[in-house]
Amino acid sequence: MVGILIVSHSKEVAQGAKELAAEMMQGDVPLEAVGGTKDGRLGTDSNLIYEALTNLNNADGVIILADMGSSVMNTELAFEFFSEEEQEKFKIVNAPLVEGAINAALQSSFGKDLDEVIAALDPVELAQKKV
Amino acid sequence: MNKTEEVFNKIADKIIDNKQYLTKLDSAIGDGDHGINMARGFSEVKEEFESAEFDSNSAVVKKVAMTLISNVGGASGPLYGTAFLQASKVMEEDLSLKNAVKIGEAVIEGIKMRGKAEQGDKTMLDAIIPAVNALKEDYEAGVELEEALQDCLEAAEEGKESTIPLVAKKGRASYLGERSKGHQDPGATSSYMIIETIIKEII
C-alpha cells in the first residue's frame, strides 16, 4: 500500500490535512503528518521529516504533499539519508496539499500502486472546486 | 577553541546582533522569520561549541552545517546547512586562495542543488556568486590572498546591494512579484554578513 506524508510549515495544517484524509480513506493507509519545528515555531525540520519517512519505509512507495519552500527543501534533504533504492520510492507531487492528501489516501486505500496514485493527483483537476 | 571555531563564534554573534534587522528585511518581502530562524540556529552553534572538541577545521564546519539543518526551521537551514556541509568536504587544514576558490564553488553548487536558484533570482546567491567569482579571478591573475579577500568582500557587498531592484524569483518573496522590487534580499544580506565576518577575521 502506498504511504502518504503531509509536510507543512504549520503543525495544525499538517494534522488537519491528515484528519481530513483519514476520514475518507477506505481501510488503513500508512499516513504521516509533519509540521512546524521541534520548538513549536512555524517552519519545517528535516529530522522530523526523516523520522516520518522511516515510519513509512515499509509502504509500497511514499507520496509527499508539501506546502512550499523549506517543506520541499527539508524533505529533499531528508531523502539523502536513505539509499538510492529507497529514495526512488519517495515522490514529492505537485498537488494542492489538502485536496492532494485526501485523494492520495483514497486512491492508496483502493490498492493502487505508486504510479497510479500519482496519475490521480492532477493539480489542475484537483484545483477544481467540487460540490 | 581553534581559529575556525572562533570565526564561526563571531559569525554567530554577528547574526544574533542583527536578528531584528534581518527580520525587518524579511518582513518587507517574506514571512518575517529570517532573523529569528538564523539567530536560533547560530545560538545553537554557540552552545554546541561549548561542549564539543574538534580535531579538524572541516569537523567544525560540518558541525555548524548539521546544527543549522536541525535548528533553523526556515529555508535558510537546509540552504546554509548544505552550503557548509559541501564546504567541509573540500576544506583543507591550511588556508590558501586556491582552496578558498574550491570552497566557494562547493558552496554555490550546494545552494543551487538545494534551492534550484540562479544568480539574479534575488537570493543569497546574488551575494555569494560575485564574491566567489572575485576570488577566482584573483587566483587566476596571481593576486595575493589578502588582496583577493578584500576584492571578495567588495564583490559580496555590491552583490548584496544589487538585489534591491530585482524582482524575486524564489522563496516567499516571489509571491510578491513586482512588489518585491526596492527591497534588499534578507538571504543575500545574511550571506554578506557571513562572508564579511570570515574575511575580517582572516585579514
**CATH code where residue B190 lies:** 1.25.40.340
- Average pLDDT rounded to a whole number, residues B180-189: 97
pLDDT per residue as tens digits for the range B55-69: 999 999 999 999 999
- For residue A129, the model assigns a pLDDT of 86
Dihedral sign computed on CA atoms, order B49, B91, A83, B79: positive
Domain ranges, residue A25: 3-127
The DSSP output letter for B168 is P
Kindly give, in sequence order, each residue whose CB lies less than 8 Å from that of residue A88, ignoring residues fewer than 6 positions away.
Answer: none
The C-alpha atoms of residue A75 and residue A33 are separated, in whole angstroms, by: 12
pLDDT at A127 over 90: no
Q: Percent of chain A scored above 70 by pLDDT?
A: 100
Which residue of A70, A75, A79 is the best one to mutate when testing the B interface, meaning the one whose CB has the most B CBs within 10 A? A70
**pLDDT above 90: percentage of residues in chain B:** 99
Q: What is the mean pLDDT of residues A72-88?
A: 96
Contact A46 B77 (CB under 8 A): yes
Whether residue B149 contacts residue B199, with contact meaning beta carbons closer than 8 Å, is answered with yes
Stretch B158-175: mean pLDDT: 96
pLDDT on residue A44:
96
User: Which residues of A sit within 8 Å Cβ distance of B?
Assistant: 37, 39, 41-47, 68-70, 73-74, 76-77
Q: How many helices (H) and strands (E) does chain A have?
A: 7, 4
A45 vs B contacts (CB less than 8 Å): 70, 73
* A62 Rama sector, left if φ>0, alpha if ψ -120 to 50, beta otherwise: beta
Distance CA A27, CA B134 (A): 60
Indicate if the pLDDT at residue A26 is higher than 90: no
Whole-number Å distance between alpha carbons of A101 and A54: 19
Burial class (CB in 10 A: 0-12, 13-18, 19+), B119: middle
Whole-number pLDDT of residue B1: 80
Which contacts of B144-151 are long-range, i.e. CB under 8 A and separated by 24 or more positions?
A: B144/B97, B145/B95, B145/B96, B145/B97, B145/B100, B146/B203, B148/B97, B148/B100, B149/B100, B149/B199, B149/B202, B149/B203, B150/B199, B150/B203
Of residues B4, B12, B22, B127, the one with CA closest to residue B74:
B22
Q: Which residue of A has its CA nearest to B34?
A: A43
- CATH code where residue A63 lies: 3.40.50.510
pLDDT, one tens digit per residue, over B82-130 is 999 999 999 999 999 999 999 999 999 999 999 999 999 999 999 999 9
Place of cell 572575485: B134
3-state helix, strand, coil in chain B (%, to 5): 75, 0, 25
What are B100's three cell numbers?
578558498
Give the span between the Cα atoms of A38 and A53, in whole angstroms. Answer: 16
Are A106 and A26 a contacting pair, CB within 8 Å? yes
Q: Please give the tally of structural domains in chain A.
A: 1
What order do you get walking across the sheet with A31-35 strand by strand?
A: A31-35, A3-8, A62-66, A90-92
Domain count, chain B: 1
β-partners of residue A35 are A8
pLDDT at A21 over 90: yes
Domain that holds residue B186: 3-202
Query: What pLDDT shows up at residue A63?
Result: 98
Q: Is the pLDDT of residue A131 over 90?
A: no
- Three-class secondary structure of residue A91 per DSSP: strand
Give the model confidence (pLDDT) of B119-140 as tens digits.
Answer: 999 999 999 999 999 999 999 9
pLDDT at A120 over 90: yes
Q: Over the stretch B137-147, which tens digit does the pLDDT of each residue have?
A: 999 999 999 99
SS3 string, B69-93, reads HHHCCCCHHHHHHHHHHHHHHHCCC
Q: Which residues lie closer than 8 Å to B145 by C-beta, 6 or more apart?
A: B95, B96, B97, B100
> What is the spatial distance between Cα A95 and Cα B74, in angstroms, rounded to a whole number?
21
What pLDDT shows up at residue A3? 98
Whether B78 has its CB under 8 Å from any CB of chain A: the answer is yes
pLDDT above 90 (res A41): yes
Quote the mean pLDDT of chain A.
Answer: 95
3-state secondary structure of A90: strand
In a mutagenesis test of the B interface, which of A11, A74, A79 is the best target, namely the one with the most B β-carbons within 10 Å? A74
